[in-house]
A and B are shown apart, each in its own frame.
Chain A
Amino acid sequence: MNEQEFLEYVQAGGQVEVEDWMPDEYRAKLIKFIEMHGNSELMGVLPEREWILRAPTLQRKLALTAKVQDEVGHSQLIYRVVEDLGKPREQCLADLISGKAKFHNVFHYPTKTWGDVGVIAWLVDAAAIISQKALLKCSYAPYARIMKKICWEESFHILHGRDVILTLMNGTDEQRELVQEALDRWWGPLMQFHGNPIPAEDDPVVQWRIKTQGNEEARQQFLDGYVPQIWELGLTVPDPKLRKSDEGVWEYTEPDWDELKHVVTGHGPRTAERLEFRRISREETEWVRKVVLAEAA
């Protein structure tokens, strides 16, 4: 099989296994894409971790802890896939900490209130599950297979988030205000989440069928699924231009793509602090890895 035949094979829905031949460019694109996903799962627990001790009830603490465990578990599964493609987990973590590798924009922001925790679990996870569901048909089969488990667990997180939001919305005016403020803070990053609306034919990740949906398609799906759910609670989406056209297409204010670029290249409001936390915890747990490997040897 040559590169052109491989491209036709994956475009026709063909899937590739770990031992199969693949073009170097495909392998490189896979590693970059999947590694960023793994980094995002791992960094994504930090904004939530900050709230475990401050969660309002024991039940909420347990649920949040479980979510953090799930997300770290996802990063382990995902790094495992990257490792099989040729990049060791140690290297992924080193590149993450040094700032060389990227992670999703939404995990660079602070978690100001408990309202933010609800919005993250509900809407950030909803946005993420849309991208992840499209990966169930990824041309790289080992990645597609673990996505089944990941999507399944994300659905619990959305439930948890929705439950947090509904509880607040049924509470005092102050609690309702907390949710509205959090939504106002997160709407911009949420609209940037799925990326620039580059046409699928210009997106190499779509061409190799690593992703099976374009960025704008994912954003439209998100708006279609969640704006009505936001509205029905009496919340206001902070975008005066947001409306569904007669053709069924969502119109909205152009997201701030400069902010997206600035944030994911390591200049978000919490980027440095969270990477530093990652570096310290890696250093502090070094002895555990040594002991485990020594005992096993």
Chain B
Amino acid sequence: MIYEVFRQERKGVAFEHAGSVAAPDEAFARAYAHEQYGRRGESVALWVVPRGSILEVEDFVDELNKNYHRVDGYSLKAKLKEARERAGVPAGGGNTR
């Protein structure tokens, strides 16, 4: 059985995939993961997950091009320039009052 190992370097940070171990059961998987990824105190916690239990999602097609929930959906530069011109503020900002 293959177990994927995720390690947390210190409290509060995200778990990161480190590698995998092959083990006959959970007890061995824990022991192997501990030896491989925690022996020198380099991890504060490990997640050891049977590979088959990981649900993977990797299809992110955006057929409708819904750019309104992405950064590239908002090009403010030209609009800001126009708005500033109408307000009489020189490019580069500056308080007129």
Contact A296 B36 (CB under 8 A): no
With A80-B22, A145-B18 in contact, is A292–B28 under 8 Å at CB?
yes
Q: Tell me the minimal C-beta distance from B33 to chain A in angstroms.
A: 11
Q: In the complex, what distance in Å separates the CA atom of A80 from the CA atom of B29?
A: 13
Instruction: Report A255-297 CB contacts with B as 1/0, cut-off 8 Å.
Output: 0000000000000000000000000000000000000110111
Q: In the complex, what distance in Å separates the CA atom of A149 from the CA atom of B18?
A: 8
Of B19, B24, B27, B28, the residue contacting A149 (CB under 8 A) is B19
Q: How many residues of A contact B (CB 8 A)?
A: 21
- By a CB distance below 8 angstroms, the chain B residues around A293 are 24
| B82 in the interface (beta carbon within 8 A) | no
Q: Which residues in chain A, 201-248, are within 8 Å of chain B measured between CB atoms?
A: none
Chain B at the A interface: SS class: mixed
| A73 in the interface (beta carbon within 8 A) | yes
Q: In the complex, what distance in Å separates the CA atom of A76 from the CA atom of B31?
A: 14
- By a CB distance below 8 angstroms, the chain B residues around A134 are none
Q: In the complex, what distance in Å separates the CA atom of A74 from the CA atom of B23?
A: 16
Chain A at the B interface: SS class: helix
Instruction: Report A142-157 CB contacts with B as 1/0, cut-off 8 Å.
Output: 1001101100110000
| A77 in the interface (beta carbon within 8 A) | yes
Contact A73 B35 (CB under 8 A): yes
Instruction: Report B1-34 CB contacts with A as 1/0, cut-off 8 Å.
Output: 0100000000000000111111111011000100
Give B22's nearest chain A residue, CB to CB.
Answer: A80
With A76-B36, A292-B28 in contact, is A145–B21 under 8 Å at CB?
no
CB-defined A-B contacts under 8 Å, sample of 11: A76-B21, A77-B36, A80-B21, A84-B2, A145-B18, A145-B19, A146-B18, A149-B19, A149-B42, A296-B27, A297-B24
For the complex with contacts A77-B19, A84-B20, A145-B18, 10 further pairs of A-B residues with Cβ separation under 8 Å are: A142-B19, A146-B18, A146-B19, A148-B18, A149-B36, A153-B40, A292-B28, A296-B24, A296-B25, A296-B27
Residues on B lying within 8 angstroms of A by beta carbon are 2, 17-25, 27-28, 32, 35-37, 40, 42, 56
Residues on A lying within 8 angstroms of B by beta carbon are 19, 73, 76-77, 80-81, 83-84, 89, 142, 145-146, 148-149, 152-153, 292-293, 295-297
